[in-house]
């Protein structure tokens, strides 16, 4: 009996090691040419947060950065801050609202003219907003705005840039998703729907065009403006709701307010996320999916091993 138990334990250990090895092997796309110095990268949402930091770092590393911003003033501030940090690199701000077809087309024309046969080696779909609230209170037009910016806008940009990406042959597309694209928390229906959609977009695109490197960056909470933006929107939404609705959500919102303070205090440095974006853009072995931070890694673990009802129970206790 003891012999059979030892054999079983041995088989389980070997099986687990093989499983982990396969995960690591298939999570990494091997032998991808590293973009040469001077190659171009287009980054949407570069005026703030991850996009801003990624633009600076890629420029310093010797790449030609086209930083998508929402206005000329935002672009001027981007350049001013870059110079004040005594950084040196090639950054060109371009007005890029991902929801505006004409702006996306104008950026394509500019890049096509300036890059020629070199093409666009890297695309970072980063622009995003975070508006949270109860489903019954979030106006449909606000829900749609989140989807248009966080999902449809990135599809629009990617489709428009295809001719330039094909010129580069082994182009890299990095999509910023979220831990909320794995598990949808209460009051995050619009944001989570957009990020679940981005996860699916990444998977489909990667399987359609295997010569491209397509990576999904899924961070947990980081100290960026989108966290505060989403919370403020939620609080205002409930505060302006009819009295009976306010009473229904009163206890839940109080709990959310306490959680928000803890979330902000424990949120990771945005640079942690940027480091993974840079890895996906410049490593010879970019990963298919990056779960960034303990929150994201925990959620991925829960998705793998726990049934939905149990996840619902856990979220009800902590959210």
Q: Tell me the per-residue pLDDT of 221-242, one tens digit each, with 9 for 90 and over.
A: 887 888 778 778 887 888 888 8
Q: What is the mean pLDDT of residues 97-105?
A: 97
Confidence of residue 184 (pLDDT cuts 50, 70, 90): confident
Distance of CA 78 to CAs 16, 59, 92, 274, Å? 48, 12, 10, 17
Beta bridge partners of 54: none
pLDDT of residue 108: 98
pLDDT of residue 318: 65
**pLDDT surpasses 90 at 89:** yes
Q: What is the mean pLDDT of residues 36-62?
A: 96
Contacts of 211 (CB under 8 A, 6+ apart): 169, 170
Q: What is the mean pLDDT of residues 157-165?
A: 97
SS3 129: coil
Among candidate residues 56, 63, 191, 290, the one labeled active-site is: 191
pLDDT of residue 19: 55
pLDDT of residue 88: 92
Please spell the DSSP secondary structure of 228-278, one letter per residue.
HHHHHHHHHHHHTS-HHHHHHHHHHHHHHHHHHHHHHHHPBPHHHHHHHHH
Query: Domains of the chain, with CATH numbers?
Result: 35-318 (3.40.50.720)
Where are the extended beta strands (E) located within the chain?
Answer: 40-43, 64-69, 90-95, 122-125, 172-176, 213-219, 289-292
44 vs 28, which has greater pLDDT? 44
191 an active-site residue?
A: yes
Q: Name all contacts of 242-249 with Cβ < 8 Å and 24+ positions apart.
A: 245/136, 245/137, 249/134
**pLDDT surpasses 90 at 72:** yes
Q: What is the mean pLDDT of residues 272-292?
A: 95
**pLDDT surpasses 90 at 312:** no
């Amino acid at each position: 009996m003891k012999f059979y138990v030892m054999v079983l334990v041995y088989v389980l250990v070997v099986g687990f090691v093989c499983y982990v090895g396969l995960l690591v092997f298939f999570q990494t796309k091997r032998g991808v040419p590293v973009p040469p110095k001077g190659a171009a990268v287009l980054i949407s949402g570069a005026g703030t947060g991850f996009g801003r930091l990624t633009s600076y770092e890629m420029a310093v590393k010797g790449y030609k950065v086209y930083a998508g911003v929402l206005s000329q003033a935002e672009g001027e501030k981007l350049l001013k801050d870059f110079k004040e940090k005594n950084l040196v690199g090639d950054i060109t701000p371009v007005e890029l609202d991902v929801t505006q077809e004409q702006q996306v087309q104008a950026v394509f024309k500019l890049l096509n003219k300036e890059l020629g046969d070199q093409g666009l080696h890297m695309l970072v779909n980063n622009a995003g907003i975070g508006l949270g609230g109860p489903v019954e209170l979030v106006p449909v037009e606000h829900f749609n705005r989140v989807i248009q910016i966080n999902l449809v806008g990135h599809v629009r940009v990617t489709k428009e840039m295809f001719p330039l990406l094909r010129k580069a042959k082994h182009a890299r597309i990095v999509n910023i998703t979220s831990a909320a694209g794995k598990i949808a928390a209460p009051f995050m229906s619009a944001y989570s729907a957009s990020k679940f959609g981005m996860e699916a977009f990444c998977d489909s695109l990667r399987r359609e065009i295997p010569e491209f490197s397509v990576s999904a960056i899924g961070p947990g909470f980081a100290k960026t403006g989108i966290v505060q933006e989403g919370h403020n929107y939620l609080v205002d939404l409930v505060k302006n709701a009819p009295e009976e609705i306010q009473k229904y959500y009163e206890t839940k919102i109080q709990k959310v307010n306490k959680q928000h303070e803890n979330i902000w205090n424990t949120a990771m440095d945005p640079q942690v996320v940027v480091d993974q974006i840079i890895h996906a853009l410049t490593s010879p072995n970019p990963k298919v999916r990056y779960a960034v931070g303990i929150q994201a890694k925990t959620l991925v673990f829960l998705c793998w091993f726990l049934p939905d009802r149990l996840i619902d129970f856990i979220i009800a206790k902590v959210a």
